[in-house]
Amino acid sequence: MNSLKEIFKNKSQNLCSVFFTAGFPGLNDTQKIITDLGSNGVDFIEVGLPYSDPLADGPTIQHSSEVALGNGINLDVIFEQLQSIKETNKTPLVLMGYLNQILKYGEEKFCEQCVACGIDTVILPDLPMIEYETHYKQLFANYGISNVFLITPQTSEERIIKIDGLTDAFIYVVASASITGAKGEISKEQITYFERIKAMNLKSTLIVGFGISSKQTFNTVCNYANGAIIGSAFIKFLDTNGVDNIDEFVEGIL
């Protein structure tokens, strides 16, 4: 069973995930960040794979990718870091990257490394549905890996229902039709969107991301979904504070 499903069986509301970019702010900060997030109540952690052209990411996460790449991070280093804490880390990890990274690294090699690190969930925002259905669905199934699909306010009901049928981890509900980045309050338009998705009574767990940056926005979206992912706000915290006092950040959200 997918490791996230084990989490979701025991907790169905106010699920909290935090995103960070591997290799940021320092090359060797990955293990400490994961350990500190997990020990302070984060339900699952999204590990960003730094990429030179991250189409879904705003300036904050783009900057963190640039710094991480400048630090010398690459997929081999990331997998070494993740494997080094496999035995001690009890918090499910989700890898978020882009299709070209996998193609360049090697599809089978990427999947093998995921398994070696105990990772069974990936998010690839630019993976076309047709490519998933005709190739990656079977490839990932061979390695016990689940793919997370994203939906936006513009996603058709037909596609959402199809995604729901293909999902065995969670559906990533993009809060707005924009790139990532900490925003202010949740707008009325977003509430209407969340209400529409909730009313569809999908079978999948719904996790909201993009623009969730505070206790207020986290609590608001949790009224309409099972939980939320905080990304840019945490990256900004790391940029200012380094990897110390991560407990304070998490306490400020939960």
The reply to whether 119 falls in a domain is yes
The reply to whether 3 falls in a domain is no
The reply to whether 60 falls in a domain is yes
Cα–Cα distance, 41 to 229 (Å, whole number): 13
Query: What is the total residue count of the chain?
Result: 254
The reply to whether 76 falls in a domain is yes
Specify the pLDDT at position 94: 98
Spatial contact of 153 and 162, defined as CB atoms under 8 Å apart: no
Specify the pLDDT at position 52: 80
Cα–Cα distance, 216 to 201 (Å, whole number): 25
Cα–Cα distance, 234 to 112 (Å, whole number): 29
Spatial CB neighbours of 140, under 8 Å, sequence gap ≥ 6? 111, 122, 146, 147
Specify the pLDDT at position 254: 87
Specify the pLDDT at position 176: 74
Q: What residues are labeled active site? A: 46, 57
Ranges of H-type helices in the chain: 3-10, 30-39, 59-71, 75-84, 99-105, 107-116, 129-131, 137-143, 157-166, 188-199, 215-221, 232-241, 246-253
Q: Which domain holds residue 60?
A: 14-253
Closest CA to 222 of 184, 253, 182: 253
The reply to whether 210 falls in a domain is yes
The reply to whether 183 falls in a domain is yes
Each of the 254 residues of the chain gets a pLDDT tens digit; together they read 689 999 999 999 999 999 999 999 999 999 999 999 999 999 999 999 998 875 656 788 889 999 999 999 999 999 999 999 999 999 999 999 999 999 999 999 999 999 999 999 999 999 999 999 999 999 999 999 999 999 999 999 999 999 999 999 999 999 875 544 445 678 899 999 999 999 999 999 999 998 898 999 999 999 999 999 999 999 999 999 999 999 999 999 98
The predicted-structure confidence for 136-166, as pLDDT tens digits, reads as follows: 999 999 999 999 999 999 999 999 999 999 9
The reply to whether 77 falls in a domain is yes
Residue 224 DSSP label: T
Supply angle C-alpha 172, 229, 211, rounded to 5. Answer: 95
Specify the pLDDT at position 55: 61
Residue 115: CATH number of its domain: 3.20.20.70
The predicted-structure confidence for 53-86, as pLDDT tens digits, reads as follows: 756 567 888 899 999 999 999 999 999 999 999 9
Domain count along the chain: 1
Specify the pLDDT at position 37: 97
The reply to whether 160 falls in a domain is yes
